Chains A and B, each alone.
Chain A
Amino acid sequence: NAGVTQTPKFQVLKTGQSMTLQCAQDMNHEYMSWYRQDPGMGLRLIHYSVGAGITDQGEVPNGYNVSRSTTEDFPLRLLSAAPSQTSVYFCAVRRTGWDEQFFGPGTRLTVL
């Protein structure tokens, strides 16, 4: 089992470009979320989903878009990248009724 996979591992964008960060899981967990990690700020929740077709905003949702059409996938879209979105992005999954969240390996994004 791969667990939680994220692609790409690294990405460099120019300001204004768009892209999608991919997150996939084979754990069949209902809950999926996206966090960004910045130095000195820990991890902050961007968006989350409690199941297919259901998404909601976290602490820092501005500039990001999500959708959840299947249990397995939860892509994060940047419609018009800004330098402030330079960060490491982590996807996490959790089984409903359980506390533990399992994090993917991350995507390091640089916006020039």
Chain B
Amino acid sequence: QQQVKQSPQSLIVQKGGISIINCAYENTAFDYFPWYQQFPGKGPALLIAIRPDVSEKKEGRFTISFNKSAKQFSLHIMDSQPGDSATYFCAASKGNQGGKLIFGQGTELSVKP
């Protein structure tokens, strides 16, 4: 049972374009939704995170949009750059279980110059 579903599996975007990755969750008890970025041969690193009391969070070129009623959240990468080429994972956890992250399947992003 996949509690967090991520799409697409892979994404190719031209330099300067917008990359959009979507995630849907089932458990309404989840209240922390991070996005992790992973480069080949490295461990995942936190990119940006949101809690359900806000509908959007922006950090530089990265924005999380959150729709609580639809149980969906998405990552938008504006002005995508070749250096953004990586695998992106969404995740979710419950308040008192912040360390027990449930991950999506991952999206391999390739930004073409």
Could you tell me which A residues sit within 8 Å of B by CB distance? 4, 31, 33, 35, 40-45, 48, 50, 58-59, 90, 92, 94, 99-101, 103-106
Q: Are A42 and B99 in contact (CB under 8 A)?
A: no
Instruction: Say yes or no: A106-B43 contact (C-beta < 8 A), given A43-B89, A94-B98.
Output: yes
Q: Are B101 and A105 in contact (CB under 8 A)?
A: no
Could you say which residues of chain B place their CB within 8 Å of the CB of A104?
43
> Size range of the interface on B?
20 to 34
Q: Are A48 and B100 in contact (CB under 8 A)?
A: yes
Contact with A along B36-52 (1 / 0, CB 8 A): 10000111111001000
Could you say which residues of chain A place their CB within 8 Å of the CB of B100?
33, 45, 48, 58
B27 within 8 A of A: no
* Segment touching A, from B14-22, B60-68, B69-77, B102-110: B102-110
Q: Are A33 and B43 in contact (CB under 8 A)?
A: no
- A103–B44 Cα distance when bound, in Å, is 6
In the A-B complex, the 8 residue pairs with the closest CB atoms: A103-B43, A42-B103, A43-B103, A31-B99, A42-B105, A94-B99, A103-B44, A100-B46
For the complex formed, measure the closest distance between the CB of B47 and the CB atoms of chain A, giving whole angstroms: 11
Q: Are A48 and B44 in contact (CB under 8 A)?
A: no
Q: Are A105 and B99 in contact (CB under 8 A)?
A: no
Contact with A along B77-113 (1 / 0, CB 8 A): 0000000000001010000001111111110000000
Could you say which residues of chain B place their CB within 8 Å of the CB of A45?
100-102
Could you say which residues of chain B place their CB within 8 Å of the CB of A94?
98-99
Could you say which residues of chain A place their CB within 8 Å of the CB of B89?
42-43
